[in-house]
Amino acid sequence: MFESKRITGTSMNDRHAIIDIGSNSVRVVVYGGPPRAPTVLLNEKVTAKLGKAMGETGELSDKAMKTALAALGRYAALLRLMGITDIETVATAAARDASNGAEFLAAVEALGLSPRLLSGEEEATASAHGVMAAFPGAKGVVADLGGGSLELTEIDGKTARHGITMPFGTLRLEALRATGAQKFAARVRKALKAADWSEGAGMPMYLVGGSWRALARYAMAKLDWPLDDPHGWEVDTETAIRIFREVTAAKIKGDVPRISASRLASLPDAAALLCVLANEIKPASLVFSAWGLREGLLFRRMSPGVQAQDPMLAAVTAFAETLDVSPSSGTMVAGWTAEVCATTEPGHERLRLAATLLALAAQRIEPNLRMEQAMDWALRKRWIGIGDRERAILAVAAIANTGRTTFPDEYLRLASAADLREAVTWGLATRLCRKFSGCIAQSLTHSSLDLADGKLVLTVGAPVRPLYTEGVDKDLRLLANWLEVEPATKLANVVTTG
């Protein structure tokens, strides 16, 4: 039998698999890379719709079980061939509620898997841990919408509590809404009252599930949002309700980028449920998360030391290492530029280190691709632990690393002008450092960059004086002009200004 293990180390060679037997789909995901920010090595699903007939018969249909078991047999074989033994298999609402659920799980076990049936509270708590893993310190309510159920959980930044489950999965919503909007809303309100749910007012609501993310993509398209990844996207509740009420009114016509036809057809149902929840719970904003149950299961198996790591820095560091940029190089460059880039903004130092690592990584690719590739990394690569504001800052730092101080106006929708100006400083300072020192430890040891008395002073010791060239002087002046100070160089006891 396959089994799951506790994640205690930091090896990026370890691989873990989660098999999620849901009400709508059956999925396997293989994770590798840094333990705190695992990368997806395999992600495969089959839409078995185990819960589709539940409302009528109370059973899993033979057809759905056959489809699911065929997929699970394939997953088990793939994992054996990949040599993966650390596997956690879980089943949720459909297997939990069906009268023949135990029979189905016995058939799953016969495939060599060890399925664990999650209670509604366990399912809710696992999803909440996935959100807390993706958004360290998150406080509010997690709403996980699956095929068979909706789970709500309160989170306070460190713990998850009051997890409830309600029968409002996507496979059930169409029939529930057929009774009319008022009766549907009343049914949701009644379920919340029965569960004694009163949390979440004035706080973010974190939305987990493919249907929620499809709604986010639709809203982002309507708002002509500069980015297209819904993970980490935050929208105020009033704006969200206005858009989603339009969705509930009629079928959506035409193509919406990155939304499948099946998801598009179910958007009115998901939008209707979200509008009722938002009206009842009254969250301050909606935050969409790609991390949920599976990542929560993985997170709970991590040692406290691994859990405490910064997921964004763990991911950026691991990514930079694939391009032969060591963490020590990034730390040295960030330290050399620290005085010029000093900031009191919370979280900016970790973000500056990430920007430095990405800037150094960009130097490992073809010159004609560097800026575009680095911007794409910043804006579209799924970094965990940051949002659109931080992505814009990373992108502008990448632009400035090429010597440019202008950036697209649309970035001002994502971050403040002050944020982006600071990012330009980071990029220009990193550029000066790498152009002068080659990011070699001895070069940095025998030099320094200081900002004092209205001057930007580059001090160059005798051992590295040949490194100071006309090109370096040009980059020093570029940074000084941006900071509106006078450039100065101190070359082996000789000071030059102007």
CATH number reported for the structural domain that contains residue 40 in this entry: 3.30.420.40
Q: Which residues span the domain enclosing 260?
A: 121-294
Same domain for 375 and 258 = no
Quick one: tokens of 50?
């185990």
Which residue from 84, 87, 197 is spatially nearest to 150, judged by alpha carbons?
197
Nearest-angstrom CA–CA distance, 4 and 294: 13
Same domain for 341 and 248 = no
Same domain for 176 and 289 = yes
Last residue of a domain, one of 249, 269, 294: 294
Write the DSSP string, 369-387: GHHHHHHHHHHHS--TT--
- Is residue 32 in some structural domain? yes
Nearest-angstrom CA–CA distance, 205 and 200: 7
Same domain for 287 and 171 = yes
Q: Is 406 exposed, middle or buried (0-12, 13-18, 19+ CB in 10 A)?
A: exposed
pLDDT of residue 260: 76
pTM attached to this predicted model: 0.91
pLDDT of residue 459: 96
pLDDT of residue 344: 77
- Is residue 339 in some structural domain? yes
Locate tokens 């050399």: which residue? 336
SS3 category, 255: coil
- CA distances in angstroms from 46 to 49, 65, 82, 380, 412, listed in the order given: 9, 12, 20, 26, 40
Q: What is the CA radius of gyration of the chain?
A: 26
CATH number reported for the structural domain that contains residue 149 in this entry: 3.30.420.150
- Is residue 237 in some structural domain? yes
- Is residue 459 in some structural domain? yes
Same domain for 128 and 106 = no
Same domain for 176 and 60 = no
Q: How many domains does the chain have?
A: 3
- Is residue 263 in some structural domain? yes
Same domain for 277 and 171 = yes
Cβ neighbours of residue 286 closer than 8 Å, sequence gap 6 or more: 204, 205, 207, 234, 235, 236, 237, 240, 274, 278
Last residue of a domain, one of 268, 294, 320: 294
Given 3-state DSSP classes, what are the helix, strand and coil percentages for the chain, each rounded to the nearest 5?
50, 20, 30
Same domain for 481 and 438 = yes
Same domain for 326 and 235 = no
Residues in the chain: 498
Same domain for 352 and 322 = yes
10 Å Cβ neighbour count for 111? 16
Q: How many CA atoms lie within 13 A of 458 on its CB side?
A: 30
Same domain for 385 and 348 = yes
Nearest-angstrom CA–CA distance, 484 and 218: 43
pLDDT of residue 2: 47
Last residue of a domain, one of 56, 89, 117: 117
Same domain for 400 and 286 = no
Nearest-angstrom CA–CA distance, 407 and 429: 17
CATH number reported for the structural domain that contains residue 409 in this entry: 1.10.3210.10
- Is residue 2 in some structural domain? no
- CA distances in angstroms from 211 to 169, 230, 324, 347, listed in the order given: 10, 11, 39, 31
SS3 category, 113: coil
- Is residue 302 in some structural domain? no
- Is residue 5 in some structural domain? no
Which residue from 88, 77, 68, 70 is spatially nearest to 25, judged by alpha carbons?
68
User: What pLDDT tens digit does each residue of the chain (498 aa) get?
Assistant: 445 565 555 455 689 999 999 999 999 999 999 999 999 999 999 999 999 988 788 999 999 999 999 999 999 999 999 999 999 999 999 999 999 999 999 999 999 999 999 999 999 999 999 999 999 999 999 999 999 999 999 999 889 988 999 999 999 999 999 999 999 999 999 999 999 999 999 999 999 999 999 999 999 999 999 999 999 999 999 999 999 998 887 666 556 667 777 777 789 999 999 999 999 999 999 999 999 999 999 999 999 999 999 999 999 999 999 999 999 999 999 999 999 998 878 889 999 999 999 999 999 999 999 999 999 999 999 999 999 999 999 999 999 999 999 999 999 999 999 999 999 999 999 999 999 999 999 999 999 999 989 999 999 999 999 999 999 999 999 999 999 999 999 987 665 665
Cβ atoms of 17 and 31 within 8 Å: the answer is yes
